Amino acid sequence: MLDALFNPRGVAVVGASSRELHIGNRVIKNLIDFGYKGKIYPINPKADEIRGLKAYKSILDVEGPVDVAHMVIPAKFTPMAFEDCGKKGVKHIIINSGGFSEVGPEGAAIEDAFMEVARKYNMRVLGPNCQGIINSDPELRAYCNFTFTFPEPGNISIVALSGGVAEVIHQGFSAMGVGTRIYASNGNACDITIPEIIRYLGDDEGTRVIVTYVEGLRDPATFMEVAAEVAAKKPILAMKAGRTAEGAKAAASHTGGLAKEDMATDLIFKKAGIVDFRDEGELINAAAAFASQPIPTGNRVGIITNTGGPAVIGTDILVDAGLEIPPLSEKTEKILKEKLYPEAAVHNPIDVLATGTAEHYRACLDAMMDDDHFDCVLVNFVTPFFVDNEKIATEIVAVSKQQRKPIVCNLMTDRKQWKETVRILQDGGVPCFALPGEAARALTALVRYHRIRTRDAGRIKNISDVDKSRAEKIISVAENAGRHMLLADEVYQILDAYRIPVADWRMAGSVDEAAAMAEEIGFPVVVKADAASVIHKSDMGGVAVNLKDAGAVKAAAKKMADELAADDLRFFVQKFMPGGMEIILGAKAEEGLGHMIMFGLGGIFVEVLKDVVFNLTPVTDSDAKEMLAGIKGAPLLAGTRGQKGVDQAAIEALLCRLSQLVGDLPIITEMDLNPVMAFEDGLFAVDARIAIS
Ligand code: ADP
Ligand code: MG
């Protein structure tokens, strides 16, 4: 579908300019300088020739096919120019100029106008307000873009909403001597979307890894679907910026205002199997490793170094990230003891010493490739003047080329003096980084991808013992009454319909009734005030726990009636459930995505430590397990230091049930079970809220 956009036979520039500093000139210069193999057609009613190329008064005068037309003209002229392009049979239009939806409703109206023409002629639009595309395929070399970095051919493809960030990424690759395959930046994205481009890159044989930068997702559901499909075939590395409220605001102001502060994007990345990054440098470095190295089959790292300290730094970072640094096998140790200097440290990390030779490096690399204690290798290589560094580089390249296990290199050198060594490594496709931490993090990214690929996505449990229609009926009563918050008894009835265990309860209209109901439930009980004005019950004196007899119940209820003075006050009487661990579960609707499900420990763990985890519905059994393991307080769930743990299987089941409940009842915008009392055996919700739209 986007084939002609990325492989144009002819490119026209509507608004071609003779002025050096004009985009309509720069695009032409870039196409020429990059060595574009197709035909370039400057369109300008007044010029005969631009940059030595014949200029055309109208695109309709062009003889050959035009697959891509750049528009570098004022916004208001675009709909008319689109007509001509349509008549000419142009397939794709790249609008580099701004002045469209990013400036307000007037601009947006122009987008609507040209899109109408585009649809009439079956043309697709990239942009407006975008850089364009680059395809570095040596057979084509299309640089339909006005920027300045000329990438080497490579196998990393980039798709970014922001051209500025894409430029940063390009520069990063270029500094490392890593090439780019295809690049696209879609600016306002009024037609061609990032998911469409990702799908194209997923099918593109020359693309080995996809790097993407977003600031929010316009159509999260489609993004997730496409990304999941593509990420199953090849790695997608992604970064989302605008995570803070301030960052989101900055993002909203620069490309048509689609970004909002959200957490859902992180969850989408996770669910789709994307390797996500919070640091652009780390993303760039990781991409370089993915571009040339195989994916490891485990997380065990062998480290080879010729200097001590950097290997220590690298080790810390790897271990922090959950990678392992296992000992050498006996066989490896024996081989290396024979081959290395006697003073060399023959354990992991292996220190071949600064005087270590190319033969020593080679012996270590070979041994680690053969040793099944290791899944990947980190090489720390400082370039001392007294060894043959070029030869060492050549050996590293030779082993890297075997593609048996991934190798990354922390190359500590003066790039000006050891030019040839650097060149050998770079041309040989060894990802080289300037810091031990960078190398370690790039390796970590490879292992993360391995984990994603081998992760058991789990099963969505279809829980059949629920009564969906009963819950729907309860909700429609509230809906018809125009209430957004459900009443306590409605909430508990819905929990009952979904067989979520709750502490036994009754709703009482009066003080005396509360006492009578407490007798029915059996002491001790809890009394809670239930009224529209009472939201955080305990903060307002609306919760009285551990009431041991009817007198205590009456006294507590009376006190609430006096203090809260609410006309609609009722008393929610509930079995007192002491001694459990308080946990919280929540759900929040996310447009186009279902719900976000939250889990954490209650009390100070949520309030002070914010120790909670999130996931998108549907929550599978594996997701639920990971959520429990994902909080910092996880050891408390399992039980530590003589303290008993809680029924984790019951919590997992409850997460799945909650996921199904909100999935069945999408009208629920927010729901929380706070707290649920979890015991060694079983659990009970003691407080719950449901809000509907
Ligand atoms: P709110 O959140 O509106 O303040 P809750 O119903 O959550 O009110 O009650 C506040 C706290 O009281 C809970 O976090 C819990 O510690 C305690 N509590 C409430 N109900 C019970 C109960 N049935 N058994 C034991 N403790 C309870
Ligand atoms: Mg509560």
Tens of pLDDT, residue by residue over 591-612, are 888 999 999 998 778 878 888 9
Q: Which of 439, 418, 447, 451 is nearest to 304 (CA)?
A: 439
**CA distance linking residue 237 with residue 211, whole number of Å:** 5
* 610 vs 37, residue with greater confidence: 37
Of 535, 543, 585, the one to substitute when testing ligand 1's pocket (max ligand atoms within 8 A of C-beta) is 543
Contacts of 473 (CB under 8 A, 6+ apart): none
Mean pLDDT for the stretch of residues 86-101 = 96
Question: What pLDDT score does 546 carry?
Answer: 97
Kindly write down the DSSP assignment for every residue of 481-526, as one continuous string.
TT-SBPPHHHHHHHHHHTT--B--EEEESSHHHHHHHHHHH-SSEE
The yes-or-no verdict on residue 455 having pLDDT over 60 is yes
Going by the DSSP 8-state scheme, the letter that residue 15 receives in this structure is T
Residue 121: enclosing H or E segment and its boundaries? none
**CA distance linking residue 466 with residue 665, whole number of Å:** 12
Contacts of 680 (CB under 8 A, 6+ apart): 644, 645, 646, 647
For residue 542, report the distance from its CA to the centre of ligand 1, in Å.
Answer: 10
322-336, 603-617, 651-665: the lowest-pLDDT one: 603-617
Q: Which of 673, 657, 676 is nearest to 665 (CA)?
A: 657
Residue labelled with tokens 């490096």:
361
Q: Under a CB-based contact definition with an 8 Å cutoff, are residues 584 and 600 in contact? A: yes
Beta-bridge partners for 132: 145, 185
* pLDDT band per the 50, 70, 90 thresholds, residue 218: confident
Question: What pLDDT score does 307 carry?
Answer: 94
For residue 593, report the distance from its CA to the centre of ligand 2, in Å.
Answer: 27
Neighbours of 208 (CB within 10 A): 17
The yes-or-no verdict on residue 340 having pLDDT over 60 is yes
Neighbours of 538 (CB within 10 A): 12
Q: Which ligand gives the minimal distance to the CA of 572?
A: 1
Of 526, 560, 683, the one to substitute when testing ligand 1's pocket (max ligand atoms within 8 A of C-beta) is 526
Q: Which ligand gives the minimal distance to the CA of 605?
A: 1
Per residue in 370-409, pLDDT (tens digit) is 999 999 999 999 999 999 999 999 999 999 999 999 999 9
For residue 687, report the distance from its CA to the centre of ligand 1, in Å.
Answer: 6
* pLDDT band per the 50, 70, 90 thresholds, residue 522: very high
Mean pLDDT for the stretch of residues 316-333 = 97
For residue 660, report the distance from its CA to the centre of ligand 2, in Å.
Answer: 22
Q: Under a CB-based contact definition with an 8 Å cutoff, are residues 154 and 291 in contact? A: yes
Question: What pLDDT score does 206 carry?
Answer: 97
**CA distance linking residue 504 with residue 686, whole number of Å:** 9
Of 545, 547, 576, the one to substitute when testing ligand 1's pocket (max ligand atoms within 8 A of C-beta) is 545
Mean pLDDT for the stretch of residues 66-76 = 97
Question: What pLDDT score does 251 carry?
Answer: 67
Q: Whose CA is nearest to atom 20 of ligand 1?
A: 686
For residue 526, report the distance from its CA to the centre of ligand 2, in Å.
Answer: 13
Question: What pLDDT score does 410 carry?
Answer: 97
Per residue in 532-550, pLDDT (tens digit) is 888 889 989 999 999 999 9
* pLDDT band per the 50, 70, 90 thresholds, residue 258: very low
Contacts of 113 (CB under 8 A, 6+ apart): 78, 79
* pLDDT band per the 50, 70, 90 thresholds, residue 253: low
Of 485, 537, 686, 689, the one to substitute when testing ligand 1's pocket (max ligand atoms within 8 A of C-beta) is 686
Q: Is the pTM of this model over 0.85?
A: yes
For residue 674, report the distance from its CA to the centre of ligand 2, in Å.
Answer: 4
Which atom of ligand 1 is nearest the CA belonging to 684?
A: 23
Going by the DSSP 8-state scheme, the letter that residue 257 receives in this structure is S
Mean predicted lDDT score pLDDT of the chain? 94
The yes-or-no verdict on residue 279 having pLDDT over 80 is yes
Q: Under a CB-based contact definition with an 8 Å cutoff, are residues 573 and 525 in contact? A: yes
Question: What pLDDT score does 259 carry?
Answer: 38
* Percent of the chain scoring above 90 in pLDDT: 87
Mean pLDDT for the stretch of residues 7-21 = 96
Question: What pLDDT score does 262 carry?
Answer: 65
Ligand 1 binding residues, C-beta < 6 A: 503, 526, 528, 536-538, 543, 545, 574-578, 582, 674-675, 686-687
Question: 346 in helix, strand or coil?
Answer: coil
Which atom of ligand 1 is nearest the CA belonging to 602?
A: 14
Strand order in the sheet with 68-71: 39-43, 10-14, 68-71, 92-95, 124-126
Mean pLDDT for the stretch of residues 81-92 = 98
Question: Maximum CA pair distance of the chain?
Answer: 100
Question: What pLDDT score does 254 carry?
Answer: 52
Question: What pLDDT score does 318 carry?
Answer: 98
For residue 243, report the distance from its CA to the centre of ligand 2, in Å.
Answer: 28
**CA distance linking residue 50 with residue 17, whole number of Å:** 7
Question: Helices in 340-382 by DSSP H: which ranges?
Answer: 358-370
